[in-house]
Amino acid sequence: MSELEPENVDVLVEWLRRAEDAAGPGRDKFEIVLGWRRLAREIVWREQMFVSTGNAAHVWRAMVAVYELGPETFPEWIAEALMEAADKLDQAADQRAIAGKSLEPTETARIIGLASAGRGKPAPFEECDRHERDWRIGYRVWELWDGCSDPLPDGEQRFGLPKAYEICGAEFGVKRDMAKRAFRWLRDDLRLFDD
């Protein structure tokens, strides 16, 4: 289990300690820890997506989540992906400099994995946004499902999957089947909720 893994008891204990400092008037430390746990799961999910799709936009979005959790949580996979991109960029810049030229912006984007895959294909951040929408829908179904192992925030209640799909679909303005597909993608294909 990685240090960032949201089920790591040591991490949860440390987050509760940190939440004491972060919780102020009107902020519940428990709610803060649940938010951090969600961010940690998002970072783990983004690593899975980067590995399976090769879409570098997931690396950049994971860095935003890491920033919210704190720099001490910076995962090795992000550093490795950034170093690999930097090495490729440096090599290409050196080759262009030898030829007396500089890198064009589109060439730079292609080298670091942020260029469109071609005509009619989504740009990396566009594809990443679609994945993120599906992640948020599937995660929300999981939060509403009575099979969820996370504690429930005040005022929320759990439901069976059919009702959770329906509620989530209404919250996100999508059809029930879309909520069902998003949840199954996270649970069955990515195995995100394995305890």
According to the model, what pLDDT value does residue 115 have? 86
Question: How far, in whole angstroms, is CA 112 from its chain's centroid?
Answer: 19
Q: Is the dihedral of CA 187, 159, 26, 7 positive or negative?
A: negative
Average pLDDT, the chain: 83
- Residue 77 near residue 58, CB atoms below 8 Å: no
- Residue 116 near residue 89, CB atoms below 8 Å: no
**Concatenated DSSP letters of 35-57:** HHHHHHHHHHHHHHHHHHH--TH
**Domain boundaries of the chain, sorted by first residue:** 1-115, 117-195
pLDDT for residue 6 is more than 60:
no
Give residue 170's pLDDT band: very low, low, confident or very high (50, 70, 90): very high
Q: What is the mean pLDDT of residues 65-79?
A: 83
194's tokens: 């394995």
Q: What is the mean pLDDT of residues 79-97?
A: 92
> What does pTM read for this prediction?
0.72
Q: What is the mean pLDDT of residues 173-192?
A: 89
- Residue 15 near residue 33, CB atoms below 8 Å: yes
Task: Spell out the alpha helix ranges (H) of 145-188.
Answer: 161-172, 176-184
- Size (the chain), residues: 195
